[in-house]
Structure 1
Amino acid sequence: MENVFKYYEFSAFFKDNSGTFQGDEISFSELNEQHFLIFEKNKSTYNLYISKYTSKEYIGKEPPEILELLVSNYDKSIPEHRIILKKYLY
């Protein structure tokens, strides 16, 4: 998974303090000024979300305006999971 995070330029993982992700660690990639892809790390699984925030400074500090789960238990070996990620980043 580290290669996925580096390739798509996701931030380093940090603890969510907004209550949105139950204190799990999150990492994000910026789509534009208000829309972000977020990976939530829950033990050994990763969930991928698309979200909307007023600014990236609010990620992990306040709940998002919009949050939609794209992939539960992301697995880079599953083509459908990779396609969903590429759909948003290219």
Structure 2
Amino acid sequence: MENVLRYYEFSEFFQDESETFEGKEISYTSLNSEHFLIFTKESNTYDLYVSKYSSEKEIGKKPPQILELLMKNYDKSIPEHRVILRKYLY
């Protein structure tokens, strides 16, 4: 999973303080100035979301304006999971 995060330039994981992600650790990458992909991490389970914030500084501090779960239990070995991630990033 670290290779996926590094390849797509996700941030380091940090603690969500907004309570949006139930206190899980989160990592994000920018799609544009207001839209972001976010991975949550709990143990070895990763969920992928697309979100909208007014600014990157709000991520993990305030609830997003829009949040949609794209995939529960992301697994890089499953082709469909990789396709969903690439769909948003390319």
Give the shorter-chain TM-score range.
over 0.9
Could you tell me how far apart the structure 1 residues matched to 2:25 and 2:55 are? 19
- How much does 1:43 deviate? 1.5
Residues 27-61 of structure 1, C-alpha deviation per residue, up to 9 Å, x if partnerless?
00000000000000012100000000000000000
Unmatched 5+ stretches in structure 1: none
Report what 1:19 is aligned to. Answer: 19
Report what 1:59 is aligned to. Answer: 59
Residues 10-31 of structure 1, C-alpha deviation per residue, up to 9 Å, x if partnerless?
0000000000011100000000
Q: Is 1:7 equivalent to 2:4 in the alignment?
A: no
Report what 1:39 is aligned to. Answer: 39
TM-score in terms of structure 2 length: 0.99
Could you tell me how far apart the structure 2 residues matched to 1:71 and 1:38 are? 11
Amino acid at match of 1:67: L
How many equivalent residue pairs?
90
Unmatched 5+ stretches in structure 2: none
Where in structure 1 do 4 or more consecutive aligned residues deviate above 6 Å? Answer: none
TM-score in terms of structure 1 length: 0.99
Could you tell me how far apart the structure 2 residues matched to 1:44 and 1:20 are? 19
Give the percent of matched residue pairs that are identical in Structure 1 and Structure 2: 68
